[in-house]
Amino acid sequence: MESSLSSDHRILLVEDSETQALRLEFLFAEQGWQTERASTAEEAVDKLERIVPDLIILDHYLPGLKGVELCKLIRRNANGWNPSILMFTAEDASAVQSESLESGADDYLSKSADDSILLLRVRTLLRKSENNRRTAGKGNTGFRQARLLAVDDSPSYLQYLVHELSSDGHTVEAANNGPDALEKITLRGYDCVLLDIVMPGMDGIEVCQTISQMGANLPRHPLVLMLTAHENPSEMARGLESGADDFVGKSSDVTVVKSRVRALLRRKLFQDALKDKEIEILRVQAAREAAELKADLVGQITEKNRDLEETNRRLKETQMHLVHTANMASLGQLVAGIAHEINNPISFIDNNCYLITEKLEALAEGCDAFLSPAHKKLIQSGRERLSEARMGLERVKELIGKLRTFSRLDEGEFKKINVHESIDSVLLLLQHRNRRITVDKQFTSDPMLNCAPGQLNQVLMNILANAMDAIGDQPGKITICTSVQEGWYCIAVRDSGAGVPVAIRPRLFQPFFTTKPVGSGTGLGLAISHSIIRAHRGQIDVLSPDGGGAEFRIRIPLNLSQEMVHAIYPN
């Protein structure tokens, strides 16, 4: 591969460090490559107007115009020629590397890289450059040809000027009066206009002033070189005031005119590059301001979102409150109503049973002498049946008592209650769901607890109903333990159901979270329970017991007073 690379290559090395430049020059000379050196961007441009190197090596940190800016300038102005450019960087920072590539460099290399790596990169780029040259063909030289307009009312001088400047590699057009020149300038872009100061009609000063005024509206803003027949100071001052960039006497040698034009064009290149730099700075500034504005807006939106979230949370709580109140009220009223309706007939049945028993006893006593043994047996059997009926009635009364306990659901009142009775009353209401569930009550605590009874019943109801739902239609077991531990009244409900998957545990107490089918679950039971226990300054947790299933543990502080219980729902 190496043998296919011709050795007569020319490298332009733009490097401000003399030692570094000498070292590389020597290294390249060993390969048979010729090195042209420039220590600043200006010098490099000057060289590029005369030579067409196969490779340009640019130091990233040049004094004045930096390596990346020079790279952009070369890329923009290279005339049908695509030079290979290698950026030489002092550091390996990725920002510098990407900046180098974005500016148009083909490659970058750290100055600390080994010589063998440097030569490898240079060789690759030289080969690329050879290929480029082959495809681009001949006749492509250095920088883009500059476009010039020569304006003079003397046809012979105009012709001479056009000829001389064209021989310098520029594209030159001509105009022999002011209006014609302005028309051309507005329609086509020129890099430089050579303007005779004295012309009939519209003179050079007026043309120059118009160019300055039109400024940004022109396709390309040209530099103006004023040509004067007489080099007197007052005429020069007039010309410069009108906006001309330089002056040259017509009587001077044409080489002076040509070198002034070259100098002006070089200046223009640098002006454009600096303008780009300014634009880049403005762009970065604008981007930073936009980012700040965006951050500000995002902040405002986040603030608004937070407000919305808060409103949403309150809405959910209010909704929960409404559902809770409605549930409590209707269930409590229903149970209380039924208990009341049953209680009245039961009372008079019980009363009558008692009276009938008394009357039968009186009858047996008074008629003892007249009754046959068979009749006496009949009366005794009646008394026994009545006694059994009264025992049944006792059980119904007990049931009504439990229903009444439960019907305290809507009682907001705070008082000392028998928790064990509350648990029994809830179980009574739920037992019809699945009679194959064994309930194991391990009540080791004192049954009495200060709380809002209706609300505690609601919690017990939710947790026990969930335990039964978790067991489903199968036989199963629910263990209910009460205990007192370190100032807490603890109630634990363990079931033999499927348990709570770890994944849903964090969402369990969120309102409206349910895994039950539509219509059977509201997702409010645990959320409401959580609020009630929180209002009692207690805690409710879910655990996974060793034997499987789920365990819900409630802890309420002992000796709770009404003042300590805060409102469950904020306003």
Interface residues with ligand ADP (CB under 6 A) are 462, 466-467, 470, 495, 497, 500, 508, 513-516, 521-527, 550
Which CB atom, from 133 or from 553, has the smaller least distance to ligand ADP? 553
Residues 6+ apart with CB under 8 A from 355: none
Between the alpha carbon of residue 115 and those of residues 3, 71, 124, the distances in Å are: 19, 23, 14
Is 53 or 497 the residue whose CB approaches ligand ADP more closely? 497
Query: Cα(96)–Cα(375) distance, rounded to whole angstroms?
Result: 121
Smallest separation (angstroms) from ligand ADP to the CB of 541: 12
Q: How far apart are CA 48 and CA 204, in angstroms?
A: 32
Spell out the long-range contacts of 20-28 with Cβ–Cβ below 8 A and sequence spacing 24 or more.
20/59, 20/111, 24/57, 27/115, 27/118, 27/119, 28/122
Among 96, 87, 95, which residue's Cα sits nearest to residue 118?
87
CA 330 to centroid of chain Cα atoms: 47
Tokens of 402: 């439990």
The minimum distance between CB 362 and ligand ADP, in angstroms, equals 58
Nearer to ligand ADP, 273 or 526 (CB): 526
Give the CB-nearest residue to ligand ADP: 525
Measuring CA to CA, which residue among 408, 407, 402 is closest to residue 452?
Answer: 408
Task: Give 61 or 513: the residue with its C-beta nearer to ligand ADP.
Answer: 513
Which residues have CB under 8 Å from 147's CB, separation 6+?
170, 171, 173, 188, 189, 190, 191, 192, 220
Least distance in Å: CB of 410 to ligand ADP? Answer: 20
How many Cβ atoms from other residues are within 10 Å of residue 373's Cβ?
7
Measured from the CB atom, the residue of 84 and 455 that comes closer to ligand ADP is: 455
Give whichever of 74 and 550 is closer to ligand ADP, judged by the CB atom.
550
User: Tokens representing 185?
Assistant: 């300038």
**Between 249 and 523, CB nearer to ligand ADP:** 523
Buried residues in 504-534 as b, exposed as e (16+ CB within 10 A)? eeeebbebeebeeeeeeeebbbbbbbbbbbe
Position of tokens 């990346």? 68
In contact, 11 and 53? CB cutoff 8 Å: yes
Rounded to the nearest 10°, the torsion over CA 319, 336, 537, 467 is -80
**Which is closer to ligand ADP, CB of 371 or CB of 470?**
470
Task: Map 327-380 to HEC letters.
Answer: HHHHHHHHHHHHHHHHHHHHHHHHHHHHHHHHHHHHHHHHCCCCCCHHHHHHHH
Q: Which of 271/515 has CB closer to ligand ADP? A: 515
Residue type, 487: G
Q: How far is the CB of 386 from ligand ADP (least distance, A)?
A: 46
Q: Judged by CB, which is closer to ligand ADP: 400, or 478?
A: 478
Q: Least separation, in Å, of the C-beta of 463 and ligand ADP?
A: 7
